[in-house]
Structure 1
């Protein structure tokens, strides 16, 4: 008789553990979009900084950034193939699925790195992304608001270095 009672208690305990595991998995699955955004944000910041470093390496002894482009940086520096892409132009290589581009700023001693953000859900977070990247730009702003070296559009972010 006690053996049968023990079997039932074990089943109830197993059900309780299973319920807790399922609840935990549901919680983790619900957090997945936020976790993926944070991972993509960290990768985005890393890639933007790597592009800025390699643009400076491309400049070498040139007087300014007059002819800088993503293609030239990809072909003439050690910029990661993950950023350059198969065509060495930065197309569809940023963590949000958009393009990277580099061009000379109005002040030829500076250059602009532009990232496109094609997904509508990620576009809602462009301001947050701009705030994250603002301290690494030329003006080293605390946030993107009123920062001269970070500009946003509905689907793009431009950083000046």
Structure 2
């Protein structure tokens, strides 16, 4: 009787080994699918983070431009170099008293241009060249922040996204 019981236990032990292998394969498959999903989402997440950082930088620069103007009658003389000289913007945009290139989240430059009592902030977007949908998304995100406070960049006179590699915003 004891031998028969031992043989029976041995038989079931071997059967359970296969079940453990199957459990492990299912777990590895699930983890692999999860990792593939995460890796596939990285470009979208990165773009959204870049849009958020772009928005923050544009706000910081436009606020600094208004601080720079103070009691001056207009924005004549305003430039990124001026904002760097007065230390009104983040050091990530400046090297000493002059602006650095490639400081926006899309690898481009920021340019300030005074225009008739206001100023224009131009951002080059070399990392969005050829990605029209993402550039329009960025323009729509920035449209409410411009002087016209438009709901969308379409038909908005204070934002121009017609260039393939830049965005022009009037504040």
Say which of 68, 88, 93 aligns to 1:83. 93
Is there any run of 5+ residues in structure 2 with no aligned partner, and where? 1-9
Which residue of 1 is the match for residue 4 of structure 2? Answer: none
Say which of 51, 58, 72 aligns to 1:48. 58
Is there any run of 5+ residues in structure 1 with no aligned partner, and where? none
State the TM-score, normalizing by the size of structure 1.
0.91
1:104 aligns with 2:114: yes
Could you say if the C-alpha distance between residues 31 and 85 of structure 1 is closer, same or farther in structure 2, counting changes exceeding 3 Å?
farther
Return the alpha-carbon distance in structure 1 between the equivalents of residues 98 and 160 of structure 2: 25
Which residue of 1 is the match for residue 170 of structure 2? Answer: 160
- The number of equivalent residue pairs is 159
- Give the RMSD, CA atoms, in angstroms: 1.6
SS of equivalent to 1:148: coil
Which residue of 2 is the match for residue 116 of structure 1? Answer: 124
More deviation, 83-92/19-28: 83-92
Could you say if the C-alpha distance between residues 136 and 90 of structure 1 is closer, same or farther in structure 2, counting changes exceeding 3 Å?
farther
Which residue of 2 is the match for residue 144 of structure 1? Answer: 153
Return the alpha-carbon distance in structure 2 between the equivalents of residues 85 and 43 of structure 1: 20
More deviation, 7-16/86-95: 86-95
State the TM-score, normalizing by the size of structure 2.
0.86
Contact 1:89 1:101 in 2 (8 A): no
SS of equivalent to 1:158: strand
Contact 1:65 1:104 in 2 (8 A): yes
Contact 1:70 1:103 in 2 (8 A): no
Say which of 131, 139, 151 aligns to 1:130. 139
